[in-house]
Amino acid sequence: MPYTAEISRASPTCFLFLIDQSRSMAGPFGGEPGRNKAEGVADGINRLLQNLALKCAKADGIRDYFWVGVIGYGKEVQSAFGGDLSGEPLVPISNLAGRPLRVETRSRKVPDGAGGLDEQPFKFPVWFEPVANGKTPMCQALTLGARFLNEFITQFPSCYPPLIINITDGKATDGDPLGPAETLRGLHSEDGPALLFNVHLSSSPAPPIVYPAQEGRLPDPFAKLLFRMSSPLPPHLLAAAEGEGFRVGPGARGFAFNADLVSVIRFLDIGTRVAHTVR
């Protein structure tokens, strides 16, 4: 059965995020006044990277169960890490955890025990900055991602297959991305093919459509194209989505249409769950 390989330091898995950084990402999320798409996605990715590091934290330090990469595509197509990791394609999670671009102090509201709310400061590491500039060279990003992952699979041939999550709010401006997406999904470890999930960002307050099994409900050709580019959910991710209250069935794909910020964060969390023993 595919997608059953044990994840270990000797055979880690990989998460690769492809992030649209075109000028349209300066627009607001539907229903999210005061925050644009680029800022919302950057916060979501940075939060997820921190959570991935915490999942790998043991008494002896951060264990390299995961390798991680972020490719931004807009005016340029390149690794989107900043600081000491600038230009790095894929990095072990221990390297990532110890080398953020900066650590910000933010605040959140927590119950004060008397029916009110208090402001509580917390540390927020930043590895990935919001950018909104240029066109949408999605085909180039998918092709660069395939190059990164081919090298990873060559190094770790028996790994749990890599997961790629592409987050975009517009059509590719450099050709038809279906072919490069098929090439990316065609990369195999001994445990099965790579998984490619796609997230279409919202510009309206309409409800998102998440994990559809068919394209009939999707309203436009671009949404249907992203659906076709997306991999079916393997069984353990189907179960994770069901556990979070999503109505999913056989053939459900890793795709979200018209996603708002909350939907993006939930999608990232579910998509990166691994239900395997790590050692």
Would you say residue 4 lies in a domain? no
Coil, strand, or helix at residue 155?
Answer: helix
The band of 255, judged by pLDDT with boundaries at 50, 70 and 90, is very high
Tell me if the pTM is above 0.85: yes
Write out the two tokens for 188.
């195999």
Per-residue pLDDT tens digits for 133-192: 999 999 999 999 999 999 999 999 999 999 999 999 989 999 999 999 999 999 999 999
Tally of CB atoms within 10 A around 67: 24
As a whole number of angstroms, the distance between CA 211 and CA 188 comes to 23
Would you say residue 276 lies in a domain? no
Q: Which residue has the higher pLDDT, 249 or 197?
A: 197
Q: Which amino acid is at 149?
A: L
Would you say residue 175 lies in a domain? yes
Write out the two tokens for 178.
């279906």
Would you say residue 122 lies in a domain? yes
Write out the two tokens for 223.
């949404």
Q: What number of CA atoms fall less than 13 Å from residue 190's CA on the CB side? A: 10
The band of 265, judged by pLDDT with boundaries at 50, 70 and 90, is confident
**33-65 exposure pattern, b = at least 16 Cβ within 10 A, e = fewer:** eeebbbbbbbbbbbebbbebbebbeeeeebbbb
Write out the two tokens for 160.
């749990």
Contacts of 66 (CB under 8 A, 6+ apart): 7, 12, 13, 14, 15, 52, 55, 56, 92, 93
> What is the number of structural domains in the chain?
1
Nearest to 241 by CA among 201, 272, 203, 219: 272
- pLDDT at residue 259, as a whole number: 83
Give the domain range for residue 266.
13-271
Would you say residue 203 lies in a domain? yes
Would you say residue 169 lies in a domain? yes
Tally of CB atoms within 10 A around 236: 14
Would you say residue 108 lies in a domain? yes
Would you say residue 28 lies in a domain? yes
Write out the two tokens for 193.
């093919």
CATH at 127:
3.40.50.410
